[in-house]
Amino acid sequence: MFYISKITPFFFLLAFTDLFIAVFSGALGYDYVFVGILSVFGFILHTVIGAAYQIIPNSQQSQLKGEKLQIFVFVSSALASFFMFLKNYPIASLFTLTATFLFTAHVLPVIKNYQPITIKFLILSLLYMNLGALFFAMAYIPLSFIPFVPFQLAVHTMTLGMMLNAIIGVQTAWIPMILMHTLNQKVANAVLIVIQIGVIVVLAGFGILNYKIVAAGSVILLTGVLIFLWIVYDCIKNTTHKELPYTVKFFVVGLVFLILGILSGAHLSGSKNFDMVPFHMTLMVFGFGGITIAGGMFHLLPRIVWNMVHVKKAQEGKNIPNVFNVLKKKEALLSLYVMVAGVVLMAGATFVELNTTRYLSSLVYLTGLLLFFRALFYRLFLLYTL
In a domain, 304, yes or no: yes
pLDDT digit string, tens, across residues 341-358: 999 999 998 888 778 888
The CA distances from residue 319 to 162, 306, 308, 381, in Å, are 40, 12, 13, 16
In a domain, 179, yes or no: yes
pLDDT of 261 reads 95
In a domain, 2, yes or no: no
In a domain, 357, yes or no: yes
In a domain, 251, yes or no: yes
The end-to-end CA distance of the chain, in Å, is: 21
pLDDT of 181 reads 86
Task: Tell me how many helices (H) and strands (E) the chain has.
Answer: 16, 0
Rounded CA gap, 26 and 136, in Å? Answer: 21
pLDDT of 315 reads 64
| DSSP category for residue 364 | H
Give me the residues of the chain with pLDDT under 50, please: none
Rounded CA gap, 261 and 257, in Å? Answer: 6
Rounded CA gap, 376 and 327, in Å? Answer: 7
What's the predicted TM-score (pTM) here? 0.93
DSSP, residue by residue, 40-104: IIIIIHHHHHHHHHHHHHHHTT-PPS-TTHHHHHHHHHHHHHHHHHTT-HHHHHHHHHHHHHHHH
In a domain, 1, yes or no: no
pLDDT of 32 reads 81
Q: DSSP 3-state assignment of 333? A: helix
Cα atoms found within 13 Å of the Cα of residue 10, Cβ hemisphere only? 13
Burial 2-33 (b: 16+ CB within 10 A, else e): ebbbebbbbbbebbbbbbbbbbbbbbeeeeee
Give me the number of domains the chain comprises. 1
* CATH code of the domain containing 211: 1.20.210.10
Rounded CA gap, 1 and 312, in Å? Answer: 15
Rounded CA gap, 348 and 79, in Å? Answer: 34
In a domain, 3, yes or no: no
In a domain, 366, yes or no: yes
Burial class (CB in 10 A: 0-12, 13-18, 19+), 382: exposed
CA angle 275, 277, 297 (to 5 degrees): 155
Q: Domain limits at 162?
A: 8-384
Q: Is the CB of residue 135 less than 8 Å from the CB of residue 149?
A: yes
Q: Is the CB of residue 19 less than 8 Å from the CB of residue 290?
A: yes
Rounded CA gap, 215 and 210, in Å? Answer: 9
383: left (phi over 0), alpha (psi -120 to 50) or beta: alpha
CA angle 170, 172, 178 (to 5 degrees): 90
Q: Closest Cα partner for 296 from 174, 129, 128, 158?
A: 174
Handedness of CA 248, 250, 251, 256 (dihedral sign): positive
Rounded CA gap, 68 and 381, in Å? Answer: 24
Q: Is the CB of residue 160 less than 8 Å from the CB of residue 202?
A: yes
